[in-house]
């Protein structure tokens, strides 16, 4: 399966961000990709107003999502990203959406809110309370995660034990001391923990690092971006995945059960 990961700098005007997403979808289709991962909270962002992403949140049936659905009717590309979706007055849910064939085929409300490094995402954002579903893309089972979820290995492992072979991660990973190192280390660790492919998209604006990656089940980086807008590609192979899992059967060799997760 050919896959793509796109990154760009999300701006204040949602229509411009929507056009960027549509353009990346078109490029991925033209290159023969079947799965595209885009960053976290792509609706809108303002470096001078940290609340703008939530203030500009839309409902599920509003224009941003409808444009993505309309575009997806033209092909069989599966596109994954996250948006702030309205909940109650002044609040939103950080919602991952998988779009294909003119509709949202899966959604996931971010479980682990980013209350760390002097940021409090939960101040305006409502956390989810259940694991996301798996989706199937070109014969691969795909597990869904969002940004800060990456720091919680039990989530990635839970998805792998449910049958995930690929983990996808839209993100907006904040800059800071050693944060690029955290990002690359955790991506490799989650691939090794689960023997899954990992596809991670990072927003690359002034406050976030970019550095999107596609990582193989042995933690080897197959494709990577820097801090600039980019669209990267890789080929995921079922045979290689099977070979890795036969050689490194960590999912079978486990001696300890996870706590029950909803």
Res. 99: pLDDT tops 90: yes
CB atoms within 10 A of CB 254: 11
Indicate if 147 belongs to the active site. Answer: yes
Average pLDDT over residues 62-80: 95
Q: How many CA atoms lie within 13 A of 22 on its CB side?
A: 17
pLDDT at 62: 86
In a domain, 261, yes or no: no
Does residue 249 fall inside a structural domain? no
- Asked if pLDDT for residue 194 goes beyond 80, the answer is yes
Query: Which residues form the domain of 57?
Result: 2-240
Residue 179 lies in a domain: yes
pTM: 0.96
Domain-embedded: residue 256: no
Catalytic residue among 40, 121, 165, 203: 40
For the residues of 93-157, what is the DSSP string, one character each?
EEEEEEEETTEEEEEEE-SS--EETTEEGGGTBPPP-SPPPPEEETTEEEEE--GGGGG-HHHHH
pLDDT above 70 (res 28): yes
Instruction: Decide if 138 is inside a domain.
Output: yes
- Average pLDDT for 188-193: 98
Q: What mean pLDDT comes out for the span 73-84? A: 96
Residue 61 lies in a domain: yes
In a domain, 254, yes or no: no
Tell me how many domains the chain contains.
Answer: 1
SS3 label, residue 78:
strand
What percentage of the chain carries pLDDT values higher than 70?
98
- How confident is the model at residue 259, as a pLDDT? 66
Task: State the catalytic residue, choosing from 21, 69, 110, 203.
Answer: 110
Comparing 39 with 255, which gets the higher pLDDT?
39
CATH number of the domain that 72 lies in? 3.60.110.10
The yes-or-no verdict on residue 257 having pLDDT over 90 is no
Query: Which of 21, 69, 121, 147 does the annotation list as catalytic?
Result: 147
Residue 86 belongs to a domain? yes
């Amino acid at each position: 399966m050919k896959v793509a990961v796109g990154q760009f700098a999300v701006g204040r005007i949602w229509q411009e961000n929507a056009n960027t997403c549509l353009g990346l979808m078109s490029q991925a289709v033209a290159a023969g990709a079947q799965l595209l991962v885009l960053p976290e909270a792509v609706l809108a962002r303002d470096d001078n107003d940290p609340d703008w992403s939530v203030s500009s949140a839309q409902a599920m049936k509003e224009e941003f999502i409808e444009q993505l659905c309309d575009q997806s009717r033209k092909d069989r590309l599966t596109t994954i990203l996250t948006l702030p979706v309205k909940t109650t007055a002044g609040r939103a849910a950080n919602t991952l959406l998988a779009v294909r064939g003119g509709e949202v085929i899966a959604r996931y409300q971010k479980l682990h809110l980013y209350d760390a490094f002097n940021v409090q995402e939960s101040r305006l954002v409502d956390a989810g309370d259940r694991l996301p579903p798996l989706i199937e893309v070109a014969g691969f089972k795909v597990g869904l995660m969002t940004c800060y979820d990456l720091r919680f290995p039990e989530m990635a492992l839970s998805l792998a034990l449910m049958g995930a072979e690929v983990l996808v991660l839209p993100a907006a990973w904040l800059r800071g001391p050693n944060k690029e190192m955290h990002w690359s280390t955790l991506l490799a660790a989650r691939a090794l923990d689960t023997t899954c492919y990992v596809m991670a998209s990072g927003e690359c604006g002034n406050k976030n690092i970019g550095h999107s990656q596609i990582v193989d089940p042995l933690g080897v980086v197959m494709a990577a971006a820097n801090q600039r807008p980019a669209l990267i590609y890789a080929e995921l192979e079922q045979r290689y995945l099977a070979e890795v899992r036969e050689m490194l059967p960590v999912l079978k060799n486990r001696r300890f059960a996870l706590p029950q997760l909803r």
